[in-house]
Chain A
Amino acid sequence: MAAAVDALRLAALQRLQQAGYARLGIAPPDFSAEAEARKGAGNAEALKPGGEIEQAMTASFVARGLDPAAAQPMLKDLRKALEQIVTRQRALPPSNGQPPSLSDLHHRAILLAQQQRLERLVDYLPEFAAAFAPLLGKVTLDDLPTGELNARTLFAQPASNPPSYWILFDPVFFDFYFHLSNAFASAIDLEALGSIGARYARGDDSASYRGAIRQGDPKPVYALFELLRNFTVMGIPPVLLTPYDERGFQFADAIRDQAALFVVAHEYGHILRGDLSHALTTDAWRAETGADLIGWRLANAVLDMERVPPASRLGGVNLFFAGLLLLELARRALADGQPRSPSDLIPHGPPDPKSSHPPASVRLGLLMEEFRNHFPQDQNRAAEFFASLMLELVGLFWERLEPAFLDMHGKGLRPIPVWKGMQALEQGLVH
Chain B
Amino acid sequence: MEAQEQSRFVDDVVNAAERIDLEDSLASSMRAQDFSFGEGNSAPAVDPEIQDAKRQAAQLVHEPTVRERLCPALSSVSDDVGSIAKVVGPALLPLALTGAGAVVPLSSLVFGAIAVVIARAGVAAICPDSKKSAKKGDD
- The verdict on B30 contacting chain A, using a C-beta distance below 8 Å, is yes
Contact A154 B25 (CB under 8 A): yes
B window 40-73: CB within 8 A of A: 40-43
Contact A279 B28 (CB under 8 A): yes
Instruction: Tell me, in angstroms, the Cα distance from A11 to B15 when the chains sit together.
Output: 15
Instruction: Tell me, in angstroms, the Cα distance from A357 to B42 when the chains sit together.
Output: 9
Contact B22 A12 (CB under 8 A): no
- The verdict on B80 contacting chain A, using a C-beta distance below 8 Å, is yes
With A19-B18, A22-B19, A23-B19 given, is the CB distance from A151 to B32 under 8 Å?
Answer: yes
- The verdict on A82 contacting chain B, using a C-beta distance below 8 Å, is no
For B80, the chain A residues whose CB sits under 8 A away are: 8, 11-12, 15, 157-158
B window 13-47: CB within 8 A of A: 15, 18-19, 21-22, 25-26, 28-38, 40-43
With A150-B35, A331-B38, A335-B38 given, is the CB distance from A18 to B18 under 8 Å?
Answer: yes
Instruction: Tell me, in angstroms, the Cα distance from A158 to B123 when the chains sit together.
Output: 12
Contact B37 A150 (CB under 8 A): no
Question: Per DSSP, are chain B's interface residues mostly helix, strand or loop, or mixed?
Answer: loop
Instruction: Tell me, in angstroms, the Cα distance from A287 to B34 when the chains sit together.
Output: 13
Q: Which of A158, A168, A328 contacts B37 (CB 8 A)?
A: A328
Interface Cβ pair total, 8 Å cutoff: 102
- The verdict on B81 contacting chain A, using a C-beta distance below 8 Å, is yes
A window 1-43: CB within 8 A of B: 8, 11-12, 15-16, 18-20, 22-23
Q: Would you give the 0/1 interface string for B70-108, flagging 1 where the beta carbon is closer than 8 Å to chain A?
A: 000000001111100000000000000000000000000
With A11-B82, A150-B31, A263-B32 given, is the CB distance from A355 to B19 under 8 Å?
Answer: no
With A8-B78, A354-B42 given, is the CB distance from A16 to B25 under 8 Å?
Answer: yes
For B82, the chain A residues whose CB sits under 8 A away are: 11-12, 15
Instruction: Tell me, in angstroms, the Cα distance from A428 to B41 when the chains sit together.
Output: 31
Q: Would you give the 0/1 interface string for A237-280, flagging 1 where the beta carbon is closer than 8 Å to chain B?
A: 00000000000000000000000000100110010000110010
For A210, the chain B residues whose CB sits under 8 A away are: none
With A15-B81, A276-B30, A357-B42 given, is the CB distance from A335 to B19 under 8 Å?
Answer: no
Contact A331 B32 (CB under 8 A): no
Chain B's nearest CB lies how many Å from the CB of A356?
A: 4
Chain B's nearest CB lies how many Å from the CB of A333?
A: 10
Instruction: Tell me, in angstroms, the Cα distance from A11 to B32 when the chains sit together.
Output: 25
Q: How many residues of A contact B (CB 8 A)?
A: 44
Contact A23 B81 (CB under 8 A): no
Instruction: Tell me, in angstroms, the Cα distance from A41 to B35 when the chains sit together.
Output: 36
Q: Which of A20, A148, A328 contacts B22 (CB 8 A)?
A: A20
Chain A's nearest CB lies how many Å from the CB of B122?
A: 9
Chain A's nearest CB lies how many Å from the CB of B116?
A: 11
With A12-B80, A15-B81 given, is the CB distance from A291 to B30 under 8 Å?
Answer: yes
For A355, the chain B residues whose CB sits under 8 A away are: 34, 36, 42
With A8-B80, A157-B80 given, is the CB distance from A16 to B30 under 8 Å?
Answer: no
Instruction: Tell me, in angstroms, the Cα distance from A276 to B25 when the chains sit together.
Output: 11
Chain A's nearest CB lies how many Å from the CB of B47?
A: 10
Contact B30 A153 (CB under 8 A): yes
Contact A152 B79 (CB under 8 A): no
Chain A's nearest CB lies how many Å from the CB of B124?
A: 13
Instruction: Tell me, in angstroms, the Cα distance from A428 to B15 when the chains sit together.
Output: 24
For B81, the chain A residues whose CB sits under 8 A away are: 12, 15, 157
With A16-B22, A23-B22 given, is the CB distance from A270 to B30 under 8 Å?
Answer: yes
Chain A's nearest CB lies how many Å from the CB of B32?
A: 4
Q: Which residue of B lies closest to A363 (CB)?
A: B33
For A168, the chain B residues whose CB sits under 8 A away are: 29
Instruction: Tell me, in angstroms, the Cα distance from A263 to B82 when the chains sit together.
Output: 31
Contact A15 B21 (CB under 8 A): yes
For A354, the chain B residues whose CB sits under 8 A away are: 36, 40-43
- The verdict on A332 contacting chain B, using a C-beta distance below 8 Å, is yes
Instruction: Tell me, in angstroms, the Cα distance from A11 to B78 when the chains sit together.
Output: 12
Chain B's nearest CB lies how many Å from the CB of A266?
A: 6
Q: Which of B18, B29, B43 contacts A154 (CB 8 A)?
A: B29
Instruction: Tell me, in angstroms, the Cα distance from A12 to B41 when the chains sit together.
Output: 29
Q: Would you give the 0/1 interface string for A133-153, flagging 1 where the beta carbon is closer than 8 Å to chain B?
A: 000000000000010111111
Instruction: Tell me, in angstroms, the Cα distance from A150 to B37 when the chains sit together.
Output: 14
Chain B's nearest CB lies how many Å from the CB of A15?
A: 5
Instruction: Tell me, in angstroms, the Cα distance from A310 to B121 when the chains sit together.
Output: 48
For B36, the chain A residues whose CB sits under 8 A away are: 354-355
Chain B's nearest CB lies how many Å from the CB of A323?
A: 10
For B79, the chain A residues whose CB sits under 8 A away are: 158
Across the A-B interface, give the 10 residue pairs with the lowest CB-CB distance, nearest first: A357-B34, A152-B29, A154-B29, A19-B22, A19-B18, A151-B32, A270-B30, A148-B35, A356-B42, A153-B30
Residues of chain A having any CB pair with chain B under 8 Å: 8, 11-12, 15-16, 18-20, 22-23, 146, 148-155, 157-158, 168, 263, 266-267, 270, 275-276, 279, 287, 291, 324, 328, 331-332, 335-336, 354-357, 360, 415, 417
Q: What would 15 more interface pairs be, CB under 8 Å, given A153-B30, A263-B32?
A: A15-B80, A15-B81, A19-B21, A22-B19, A152-B29, A153-B29, A158-B78, A158-B79, A158-B80, A270-B30, A276-B30, A287-B30, A354-B41, A356-B42, A360-B33
